[in-house]
Structure 1
Amino acid sequence: MTEAVLYDYWRSSASYRMRVALNLAGIAFTSVPVDLVAKEHKTPEHIARHPQGLVPVLEIDGLRLTQSLSMLDYLDRTRTMGLLPEDPARRAAQTALAHAIAVDIHPVCNLQVVAYAAEITGNREGVREDWMKRFIRPGLQAVETMLGGFEQSPFCCGDTPGLADICLMPQMYNARRWGVEVSDLPRILAIEAACADHPAFAAAHPDRCRPA
């Protein structure tokens, strides 16, 4: 019997985060695909699950949860995952690192935003790639600098994956998908390699979760 149901899309950054977190927590879950390209997230059935018409949606412990950062906080508090430290100052610093990715980079680079940007510019060739590079690279450069305040041994903030790692890996997937230059970001590249070797991250990777 599965403990949770995750309504997700294989390429969704927020869905990717949740797959990683559920794997890290050792929670068995059923993935129910919601095809964003086919606009299944805008159907009445999905709107009933998530009034914003977004993914993911997590059903767990008799609850229906939306917004990935809120879900991550719930799992961290109920499963004692240690995604953030208890010390207030360290917690604030690590939260800022994670939010630099999940709150500042991700929202301007999601499917709906990029589609609209392409539409209002006449769908010229290369507009999606230009948009992604414009926002992802400067955001990752800032994260690279912020990582200088932590010891990567080998993850963002220590020897176990935390909230920042869960947010970073989906953004790195997007960076590579859209041809963003990342070769000069050594801290991020080292973290990416460490996460790629971790079973919870590997099993959550979009290439492993793409519908047949």
Structure 2
Amino acid sequence: MDLYSFFNSSTSYRVRIALVLKGLNIAYHGVNIRVGEQRDAGYIANINASASVPAIVDGDFRLAQSLAIIDWLDVTHPEPRLIPVEPVLRARVLEFANAIACDIHPVNNLRILKYLTDVLKVTPEQKDAWYKHWIAEGMGTVERLLAQRSVAQVGPWAFGAEPTLADICLVPQIANALRMDCDLSAFPRALAVFQHAKQHPAFDAAQPDRQPDYVQ
């Protein structure tokens, strides 16, 4: 199985966590999205039609989009389960994951930030304000969802005693927010999950600075 990833991509980070949790061996291929390698015609034609990372190639099968990849991994390699089967818990985990993957990440990813600076010509201060605004908005939702968990769902992880897709989405998002110097002190529940996850070997192994294509 081949993984096409960029070390500092939070979506790639999600998939790396899932792969390590499931104990799957992969061949790692770095795609430098800072210099536009994801827009190479061969990459788009043969690996990822969306011109992005991550992508998985397994024989003749190719798949992009981190949530789709993780769902596919859950079907093809079901242990440990990352998207719960029980309907209510499944719904809560997906609600939480999508609050990050659909509401926070899309407005703050690299191509949006580059458009703000390169095309709209916003100042560095305006770009920084944009990023921090959407982090605060989105993390407010995340913190409220954690506060609304049932007693049975509360644990060291976002939803109970084991990591799920919720944690896989949360950890890279917080890591990026901290890297961008966002103040997350208003979100203690989310930070507690993040600190717990950092101690887990799979989450540690998937960190950006542990990847072959890492550069400072």
Interval of TM-score (by shorter of Structure 1 and Structure 2): over 0.9
Which of 75, 87, 91 is matched with 2:73 structurally?
Answer: 75
Residues 1-212 of structure 1 correspond to what in structure 2 (within 5 A)?
A: 4-48=1-45, 49-60=47-58, 62-80=60-78, 81-150=80-149, 151-209=153-211, 210-211=213-214
Aligned length: 209
Supply the AA of the counterpart residue of 2:51. Answer: G
State, as a whole percentage, how many aligned pairs show the same letter: 38
Once the 2 structures are TM-superposed, how far is the Cα of residue 85 of structure 1 from its aligned partner?
2.1
TM-score scaled to structure 2, two decimals? 0.92
CA contact (8 A) 2:208 2:214 kept: no
Supply the AA of the counterpart residue of 1:179. Answer: D
Mapped partners of 2:124, 2:71: distance in 1: 40
- Tell me the SS of whatever aligns to 1:22: helix
TM-score scaled to structure 1, two decimals? 0.93
Once the 2 structures are TM-superposed, how far is the Cα of residue 122 of structure 1 from its aligned partner?
2.0
After the TM superposition, list the runs of 4 or more consecutive aligned residues in structure 1 that deviate by more than 3 angstroms: none
Once the 2 structures are TM-superposed, how far is the Cα of residue 174 of structure 1 from its aligned partner?
1.2
Larger displacement relative to structure 2 (78-87 or 90-99): 78-87
Once the 2 structures are TM-superposed, how far is the Cα of residue 36 of structure 1 from its aligned partner?
0.6
Mapped partners of 1:174, 1:88: distance in 2: 31
CA contact (8 A) 2:94 2:166 kept: yes
* Aligned alpha-carbon RMSD (Å): 1.4
Mapped partners of 1:73, 1:116: distance in 2: 30
CA contact (8 A) 2:7 2:208 kept: yes
CA contact (8 A) 1:50 1:66 kept: yes
- Tell me the SS of whatever aligns to 1:65: strand
Mapped partners of 1:125, 1:113: distance in 2: 14
CA contact (8 A) 1:7 1:58 kept: yes
Once the 2 structures are TM-superposed, how far is the Cα of residue 24 of structure 1 from its aligned partner?
0.3
- Tell me the SS of whatever aligns to 1:71: helix
Q: Mind listing any 5+ residue stretches in structure 1 that lack a counterpart?
A: none
Deviations 1:64-106 (A, max 9, x none): 1111110000111121132122222221122101100011111
- Tell me the SS of whatever aligns to 2:181: coil
Larger displacement relative to structure 2 (42-51 or 16-25): 42-51
Q: Mind listing any 5+ residue stretches in structure 2 that lack a counterpart?
A: none
